[in-house]
Each structure stands twice: as structure tokens, then as C-alpha cells.
Amino acid sequence: MAEGWLRSFDSELEIRSAGTEPAASVHAAAVAAMAEVGIDISSATPTSVSQFIDQDFDWLITVCEQARTACPALAGSVAQRIHFGFDDPAAVHGTPEQVRQAFRRVRDQIRIQLQRFYREKLGPLLRDALPQDLQPVRALLQVCGLLENDFERQFGPGWTVVIRGDVPVGAACIDTYGRFGLLRSVVVAGAHQRRGLGQLLVRNRIDWARERGIDSLFLATATAVDFFARNGFREVPRLAVPIEIRTLPKFEGSETDNSTVMEFRIR
Ligand SMILES: CC(C)(COP(=O)(O)OP(=O)(O)OC[C@H]1O[C@@H](n2cnc3c(N)ncnc32)[C@H](O)[C@@H]1OP(=O)(O)O)[C@@H](O)C(=O)NCCC(=O)NCCS
């Protein structure tokens, strides 16, 4: 169940789950409990931890007391360990309904604990851009045709990056003009798209703008109208854009490529 939850949080994680005394098959009540929350673990097969003894892992997660004490030392390297003490729902004997309830309860406890663990230890990290991010962000923008001529000069405050591994795989920027902001250069590397990172970046920039007392964010996009609409932006006439933004060369340039102009009202 823990493996199923972790996979559902992030399809990029490589997860192996194993038992110290693996059963012949995954408990039918575990499969049913996970199916109730839309996660299919029916093809999982119990595996002995001895199969992974020589492999390297970033994390070793033990989920019951017995595993913590009985888990053999892995010969490969384990960078970090964490233990969660869940009850073993398979140890509950009772009516079928009592067994189902036990699996549901543990399923939900696992989700809460692992979601927090994922968010704090494994998930994508968003931070303000640092000087060393300039080259990787430049490369991201270039691939998507979003690189502006004066990129090097304007890279700095207002930029955020999303990091996976140790590498920036996405970026976004807001330029501020008094009470208004221009959201631009929102980009996620191809291999990381469609996993919510774009949304994470946009939400982060909206919060950043809110904290700075900005009333409205504007953007012009030729490629991602639906994406921004999903994130709360709505189409507005070009003339609705404050003049200090509308007359910027980079914004005026967007008129020629038929870009759609959009606004997000913060207040
Ligand atoms: C637009 C972009 C930043 C989205 O990043 P992402 O991490 O894939 O976005 P999310 O995972 O948060 O959201 C994905 C959803 O947004 C929508 N979406 C993503 N890119 C889209 C695009 N170019 N046009 C329309 N909708 C898009 C999809 O419907 C997707 O949902 P689905 O998987 O259910 O179909 C990314 O596609 C990108 O970098 N594109 C190239 C650069 C660009 O066009 N930037 C915008 C101009 S400033």
C-alpha cells in the first residue's frame, strides 16, 4: 500500500517494496482498499528483501516494527533511513467487514505519513533563482523558443526555479510595475511536463506577487492558453493591460504572433 501511495504522488520515483517474510500474494483486502481510492496494486507481487540486498537506495523506509528490527543490513548503500510504525492490518482477525475497516484505516494512516514525508524529503523543491541557475534556465528557455535577448541582464529577482535532483527543471519570472506584474518565461523541461510542476510554478509566483502587494498579473501567451486558464487566468483585451506593461517591447512583440493576453486578479 505504501508503494502504491508513493507512486501515486510521483511517477518519477523508483520504488521497490519488499518484506522480511513475504506472503504468497498481496492481501486481497489491501488491493480492494487501494482500489477504493483509485490506486491499482493488483499486479504487485510480494518480494523478499533479500532480492535487493546489494542494491543502492537513497532511502530505506520501514513500515512496521518487525521490519525495523528484522530488516537485514543492506550490502549496497542506503543514504537515509526512516521508520513509520503502522499496525499490520493483516494481523486483524474478525468479520470480513472488520478486516476491510482495518485495511482502510492503515491505508489512510500511510497516506498521511507518506504524503508529509514526500513533501518534505522527496518532492520538487521551489526556490528563488540563484546566479548558478542562469545557464540551466537559459537552456530551458532556448529549447522552448522563449529566450529573450536581454535574458542575462534581467535574470535575478522575480525568478523562481523548480529543482529535481540538483538541477533546475523549470522556471518562471515576474517583473513588477507598481501594483501590476508581468508573468513570463514559465517553462518546464519536456521530460518533466504534465506532472504539476507548471502549476506549482504559477501558484508560487502568484503567492510571491500577493506578498508584494501586487493587484493583478498579466501575461501574453501564444502556446499555453489552456494551461493558464486552468490556473485561474482569464483572457482580457490587450487594452485592459496597464500601459506600463503594454508598451514594453517584449509585450508589444507578442501582438505580432497572435498571442492571447490574460490576467489573474489577486485582489
Ligand atoms: C506550459 C508549461 C509550463 C506547463 O508545464 P507542465 O508542468 O506540463 O504543467 P502542469 O503539469 O502543471 O499542467 C499540465 C496541464 O496543463 C495543460 N497544459 C500543459 N501545457 C500546455 C500547453 N502548452 N497548452 C495548453 N495546455 C497545456 C495540460 O492540459 C495538462 O493537463 P493534462 O495533463 O491533464 O492534459 C510547459 O508545457 C512548458 O514549459 N511549455 C513550453 C513553454 C511555454 O509554452 N510556456 C508558456 C508561455 S510563458
Pocket test of ligand 1: the residue of 138, 192, 194 to mutate, having most ligand atoms within 8 Å of its CB, is: 194
Query: What CATH number is associated with residue 210?
Result: 3.40.630.30
111, 146 contact by CB (below 8 A): no
Pick the closest to residue 84 from 60, 52, 53 (CA basis).
60
Same domain, 71 and 168: no
Q: Is 112 in a helix, a strand, or coil? A: helix
Same domain, 156 and 43: no
26: containing domain: 2-122
Q: Report pLDDT for 49.
A: 87
Same domain, 88 and 190: no
Same domain, 216 and 102: no
Per-residue 3-state assignment (H helix, E strand, C coil) for 71-107: CCCCCCCEEEEEECCCCCHHHCCCCHHHHHHHHHHHH
State how far the Cα of 21 lies from the Cα of 226, in Å rounded to an integer. Answer: 50
State how far the Cα of 8 lies from the Cα of 146, in Å rounded to an integer. Answer: 32
pLDDT tens for 44-70 read: 999 998 898 888 898 989 898 777 777
Domain final residue pick, 122, 151, 183: 122
pLDDT tens for 252-261 read: 877 777 899 9
Same domain, 17 and 39: yes
Q: Report pLDDT for 11.
A: 82
Same domain, 191 and 216: yes
Same domain, 136 and 197: yes
Terminal C-alpha separation, the chain: 42
Angle between helices 2-9 and 96-117 (to 10 degrees): 40
The protein residue whose alpha carbon is closest to atom 43 in ligand 1 is 187
Residue 128 has pLDDT above 70, yes or no: yes
Same domain, 197 and 165: yes
Looking at this protein, which amino acid is placed at residue 155?
F
Pocket test of ligand 1: the residue of 11, 206, 227, 264 to mutate, having most ligand atoms within 8 Å of its CB, is: 227
Same domain, 207 and 257: yes
Ligand 1: list residues with CB < 6 Å.
144, 146, 184, 186-188, 193-199, 221, 223-224, 226-227, 230
Query: What is the b/e burial string over 37-57, where b = at least 16 CB atoms within 10 angstroms of the residue's CB?
Result: eebebeebeeeebeebeeeeb
Pick the closest to residue 186 from 215, 165, 160 (CA basis).
160
Same domain, 71 and 169: no
More confident residue, 203 or 72: 203
Same domain, 177 and 244: yes
pLDDT tens for 139-182 read: 999 999 999 989 999 999 999 999 987 899 999 999 999 999 99
Residue 75 has pLDDT above 80, yes or no: no
Query: What CATH number is associated with residue 110?
Result: 3.40.50.2300
State how far the Cα of 34 lies from the Cα of 110, in Å rounded to an integer. Answer: 11
Domain final residue pick, 104, 122, 140: 122
- Mean pLDDT within 178-194: 95
31, 38 contact by CB (below 8 A): no
Residue 101 has pLDDT above 90, yes or no: yes
The protein residue whose alpha carbon is closest to atom 40 in ligand 1 is 187
Grid cell of 149 as nine digits: 535577448
Counting from 1 in the atom list of ligand 1, the atom nearest the Cα of 184 is 48
Same domain, 130 and 111: no
Domain final residue pick, 97, 122, 147: 122
Q: How many domains does the chain have?
A: 2
In this prediction, residue 72 has a pLDDT band, given cuts at 50, 70 and 90, of low
Grid cell of 232 as nine digits: 485561474
State how far the Cα of 251 lies from the Cα of 175, in Å rounded to an integer. Answer: 12
Q: Report pLDDT for 123.
A: 83
Residue 222 has pLDDT above 70, yes or no: yes
Residue 96 has pLDDT above 90, yes or no: yes
